[in-house]
Amino acid sequence: MQAIRVHDYGDPSVLRYESVERPEPTADELLVRVRGAGLNPVDTAARYGQIEYPLPWIPGWDFSGTVAAVGDSVTDFAVGDDVYSLARFPDAGNAYAEYATVPAADVAAKPATIDHPTAAGVPMVALTAWQALFEQGDLQDDDRVLIHAAAGGVGHIAVQLALQHGATLTSSTRLKPWDSSGGVSSGISAPPSGSNLRVCARFFGTFVRV
C-alpha cells in the first residue's frame, strides 16, 4: 500500500510518499480502508519532533473509512461498515495511509449524513470540545457559557454541543459581523490577542460559569 511516512523531524519536506507493507489487524482491531484523514496542530508538532516517536512512522490520528477486515475478537463491526476514529492517540498514529489498523474500541460508526472527508475532521476536535465542556466544565442545562475562538475547529463544535445541551452561549471570534442565527445569544468580534482574551475572561467571568 501507499503511505506517508516521517523519516526525520522537520518541515513538510520530511514527509515521504512511499510503498509500505499493509498491516494486519490483531484480534481486537479493525483494518480500515482510509477514505479521509484529518490534520490537526498536534500533527505538525509531532512532525517537528515536539512529540517523538520511533522513526520512521506514519503520522495522523483522525481518519474515516470502510472496514476491510476484522480481528477474531471483534463483534461490533463487520467488513463494509463505514467508520471514523481518533486512533491510538497519544501513541503514534497511522492515518496517512491507504489502510490503517485501529483498536475496535477507538472506532465509531460514521454518520450517514456526512461524507468521509468531513467525518475525518471531527474526532479530535469534537472530543476536545466534549472534554472541556462536560468532563472539565461539568456543563449543566441552565449554564451560561463563554467560548473563545468559536469559529475554530474545537470552538465550532463546542458551540453546537453547548447549544444542544440547553446552555446560554456567548462566543468570541475574529469574524465580522457576528452572526447570531445559529442560536448564540451574543458575540464578540475581536482579534484573538492575549489582552483581548484576558479582558473577555475578566468581564464575562462575572456572568458565565463555563
- Which of 54, 81, 115 marks a domain boundary? 115
Residue 210 domain flag: no
CB–CB of 28/11 below 8 Å?
no
Residues 141, 93: Cα–Cα separation, whole Å: 36
Number of domains into which the chain is organized? 2
8 and 111 in one domain? Answer: yes
Q: What is the mean pLDDT of residues 141-162?
A: 85
100 and 167 in one domain? Answer: no
Largest CA distance in the chain: 57
Residue 53 domain flag: yes
Q: What's the sign of the alpha-carbon dihedral 57, 60, 66, 70?
A: positive
146 and 97 in one domain? Answer: no
State how beta strands 186-189 and 82-86 pair. Answer: unpaired
Domain hosting 162: range is 124-204
69 and 98 in one domain? Answer: yes
Residue 142 belongs to domain with CATH number: 3.40.50.720
32 and 85 in one domain? Answer: yes
Residue 67: beta bridge partners? 32
Residue 206's pLDDT band (cuts 50, 70, 90): very low
172 and 103 in one domain? Answer: no
Tell me the CB-side half-sphere exposure of residue 29, using CA atoms within 13 A: 12
Nearest-CA neighbor of 47 among 85, 13, 91?
13
Q: What angle do CA 37, 55, 72 make, to 5 degrees?
A: 60
Residues 202, 206: Cα–Cα separation, whole Å: 7
Q: What is the pLDDT of residue 70?
A: 98
Would you say residue 49 has pLDDT above 90? yes
Q: What is the pLDDT of residue 181?
A: 46
27 and 108 in one domain? Answer: yes
Residues 73-122 have pLDDT tens digits of 999 999 999 999 999 898 988 999 999 999 999 999 999 999 999 999 99
Residue 209 domain flag: no
